[in-house]
Amino acid sequence: MKTAAIIGGGVIGGGWAARFLLNGWNVRVFDPDPEAERKIAAVLENARRALPGLGNVALPDEGALSFHPTIAEAVAGASWVQESVPERLDLKQKVYAELQEHVARGAVIGSSTSGYKPSQLQDGFTNAAQIVVAHPFNPVYLLPLVEVVTTEANSPEVIKKAKEIISGIGMYPLHLKKEIDAHVADRFLEAVWREALWLVKDGIATTEEIDNAIRYGFGIRWAQMGLFETYRVAGGEAGMKHFLAQFGPCLSWPWTKLMDVPEYNDELVDLIAGQSDAQSGKYSIRELERIRDDNLVGMMRALGNTNWGAGALQNAHDKAREGTMGLASTMADITDPSQPVLTLNRVVPLDWTDYNGHMTESRYLDAFAQSTDRLMAIIGCDADYIASGGSFFTAETHIRHIDEVHAGHPIQVRTRVILGEGKKMHLWHEMYEGDRLLATGEHMLLHVDLTTRRSAPPAPHLAENLATLARAHADLPAPEGLGRSIGAPR
């Protein structure tokens, strides 16, 4: 199993530990803080609750977490080392001097620094080629962006490995080939932060009003389309050129105090802190973190439905994990066709629960519908086949809710083909958490010509694949509840 070493276990280091750990890596931590284990445990509690429900494919088995008294011991066997110590260059250089002595030559050393350039971190070290900036965003276990900043000292092999590892844990490596103080994303944040300080100081808006301007307006747009693409759309049919012609002159107008920073004195600090307390003081930090996590999962899952932005990135990550989680994509992937086919392997996400605290009844149908879609794809009724004019429509469904399941719990669905002949496809789904049966779904579908919207025989290859599974499953004992109607005795 792959191993990552985390040097510094604060908010960012703990987030890195959670991201690696929940993606199947062993994680070794060094932090002299006696509270490090407790703090990382709190971050992990949130990560285990939120991250598994972000995707639609189960995460791998969690790696092993261990804490070590020295840097040398922590980095033993690590192929990735993430430095997340406080933003002091002298402290970072002291850490890199020790890493130079103990880190394996094939490992990547990433720094979470938000401000220092990689050349400053590499200066004077013989292993400079291994050191890159890998700057994430909080919470690291959910937000996918990592700014990877490199210099000419970094070999193509190190850069390639860094990007592959970051992609492999479901994140997006934004490779900056030219270094600059504070990289890219934090320069945007600093610009907005400076302007916000003036707006508060001058009494134009409160902290809450400024936050509302962001979260109810451009923040949502930026989350799914970024800056330039948002402005391109704002230009209408004429596109970006029209937008620039219309709004470009504004750049010379006195709209901003961006280059003029207000005096950072106690009066300003008290003003902002007081307004922030009034805005959010009724919530604890842990409550705010959970509200944040719920919102982020919901937004990114919504973006996944349209295969856009961060949601498209998560969909690609899910697709890459399907084979490792036992999910077949074609008939050739089924190792034992005589057994029910694993058609769903995931965790119940946060937004699948209801007021009773368990998975809402509509989501049982959602899960079974996903299983039906996968079975269709396996037999050949995939996106290309549907685009050619054929598909299956569901004619009848019967779901039995046998036991409850909660957010964060793993579920699997295994599917049998009861009948597969002519235009008909009769499926039987069973949903489990471990060995515990949660629900069954019985579904009758008809093959349809999408041009006429009427039932029609499927293509020969699809019909043969469906019949093959039906014959293979015919020798299994009849499932309990097959053909049962509501209220009928068992």
* Residues 160 and 264 occupy one common structural domain: no
In a domain, 106, yes or no: yes
In a domain, 305, yes or no: no
pLDDT band, very low/low/confident/very high, at 285 (cuts 50, 70, 90): confident
H or E element: which one contains 47?
Answer: helix 36-50
Edge-to-edge order in the sheet of strand 3-7: 65-67, 26-30, 3-7, 80-83, 108-111, 131-135, 145-149, 172-176
The pLDDT, as a whole number, for residue 404 is 94
Measured distance CA(97)–CA(126) in Å, rounded: 10
The pLDDT, as a whole number, for residue 251 is 66
Which tens digit of pLDDT belongs to each residue from 64-89?
999 999 999 999 999 999 999 999 99
pLDDT at 490 over 60: no
Domain CATH code at residue 198: 1.10.1040.10
* Residues 205 and 176 occupy one common structural domain: no
* Residues 20 and 157 occupy one common structural domain: yes
Measured distance CA(338)–CA(345) in Å, rounded: 19
Report CA 227 to chain centroid distance, whole Å: 21
Assigned token pair, 41: 């445990």
- From residue 25, alpha-carbon distances to 17, 18, 130, 319, 334 in Å are 9, 10, 20, 19, 27
Residue type present at position 118: P
Measured distance CA(213)–CA(83) in Å, rounded: 35
Least confident of 118-122, 259-263, 319-323, 449-453: 259-263
Domain membership of residue 426 as a residue range: 325-473
Among the listed residues 448, 441, 385, 451, the one whose alpha carbon sits nearest the alpha carbon of residue 414? 441
DSSP of 364-387, one letter per residue?
HHHHHHHHHHHHHHHHT-SHHHHH
* Residues 208 and 175 occupy one common structural domain: no
Least confident of 245-254, 443-452, 471-480: 245-254
Least confident of 129-133, 188-192, 261-265, 411-415: 261-265
- What average pLDDT does this structure show over 305-325? 89
* Residues 252 and 330 occupy one common structural domain: no
Backbone angles phi, psi at 270, to 5 degrees: -65, -40
In a domain, 136, yes or no: yes
Q: How many CB atoms lie within 10 A of CB 151?
A: 19
* Residues 461 and 331 occupy one common structural domain: yes
Measured distance CA(490)–CA(488) in Å, rounded: 7
- What average pLDDT does this structure show over 258-268? 80
Domain CATH code at residue 121: 3.40.50.720
Higher-confidence position of 217 and 121: 121
DSSP of 135-173, one letter per residue?
E--SSTTT--EEEEE--TTS-HHHHHHHHHHHHHTT-EE
Least confident of 33-37, 182-186, 449-453, 483-487: 483-487
Measured distance CA(94)–CA(104) in Å, rounded: 18
The pLDDT, as a whole number, for residue 223 is 87
- What average pLDDT does this structure show over 323-331? 90
The pLDDT, as a whole number, for residue 488 is 62
Which tens digit of pLDDT belongs to each residue from 133-164?
999 999 999 999 999 999 999 999 999 999 99
In a domain, 88, yes or no: yes
27, 20 Cβ separation under 8 angstroms: yes
pLDDT band, very low/low/confident/very high, at 272 (cuts 50, 70, 90): confident
DSSP of 393-454, one letter per residue?
EEEEEEEEE-S---TT-EEEEEEEEEEEETTEEEEEEEEEETTEEEEEEEEEEEEEETTTTE
Domain CATH code at residue 406: 3.10.129.10
In a domain, 203, yes or no: yes
- What average pLDDT does this structure show over 386-390? 97
pLDDT band, very low/low/confident/very high, at 359 (cuts 50, 70, 90): very high
* Residues 457 and 338 occupy one common structural domain: yes
The pLDDT, as a whole number, for residue 322 is 86
Assigned token pair, 483: 């053909």
pLDDT band, very low/low/confident/very high, at 207 (cuts 50, 70, 90): very high
* Residues 26 and 169 occupy one common structural domain: yes
Measured distance CA(183)–CA(206) in Å, rounded: 29
Measured distance CA(198)–CA(193) in Å, rounded: 9
- What average pLDDT does this structure show over 14-34? 97
Which tens digit of pLDDT belongs to each residue from 391-441?
999 999 999 999 999 999 999 999 999 999 999 999 999 999 999 999 999
pLDDT at 108 over 70: yes
pLDDT band, very low/low/confident/very high, at 241 (cuts 50, 70, 90): confident
The pLDDT, as a whole number, for residue 5 is 98
Assigned token pair, 380: 């050949």
* Residues 207 and 163 occupy one common structural domain: no
Evaluate the omega torsion of the peptide bond into residue 139 and state whether it is cis, within 30 degrees of 0.
Answer: yes
What's the domain count of the chain?
Answer: 3
Burial class (CB in 10 A: 0-12, 13-18, 19+), 71: buried
H or E element: which one contains 66?
Answer: strand 65-67
* Residues 78 and 220 occupy one common structural domain: no
* Residues 74 and 196 occupy one common structural domain: no
The pLDDT, as a whole number, for residue 227 is 86
pLDDT at 289 over 60: yes
In a domain, 179, yes or no: yes
- Could you say which of 161, 183, 205 is where a domain stops? 183
Among the listed residues 390, 393, 458, 399, the one whose alpha carbon sits nearest the alpha carbon of residue 423? 458
- The label of the residue with tokens 């703090």 reads 39
For residue 214, give the DSSP letter: I
- What average pLDDT does this structure show over 258-267? 79
pLDDT at 205 over 80: yes
The pLDDT, as a whole number, for residue 224 is 84
pLDDT at 14 over 60: yes
The pLDDT, as a whole number, for residue 96 is 97
pLDDT at 489 over 70: no
Assigned token pair, 161: 């490995």
pLDDT at 243 over 80: no
Task: Give the three-state DSSP class for 355.
Answer: coil
The pLDDT, as a whole number, for residue 281 is 85
- What average pLDDT does this structure show over 160-182? 96
Q: What is the mean pLDDT of the chain?
A: 93
138, 11 Cβ separation under 8 angstroms: yes
The pLDDT, as a whole number, for residue 43 is 96
The CA angle 463-465-469, to the nearest 5 degrees, is 115
357, 409 Cβ separation under 8 angstroms: no
Higher-confidence position of 461 and 258: 461
**What's the per-residue H, E or C state across 258-289?**
CCCCCCCCHHHHHHHHHHHHHHHCCCCHHHHH
- Could you say which of 253, 282, 311 is where a domain stops? 282
Measured distance CA(179)–CA(289) in Å, rounded: 32
- What average pLDDT does this structure show over 211-215? 91
The pLDDT, as a whole number, for residue 261 is 72
- Could you say which of 250, 282, 314 is where a domain stops? 282
In a domain, 484, yes or no: no
H or E element: which one contains 196?
Answer: helix 185-201
User: Could you tell me the pTM of the whole model?
Assistant: 0.85
* Residues 210 and 169 occupy one common structural domain: no
Higher-confidence position of 222 and 447: 447
In a domain, 308, yes or no: no
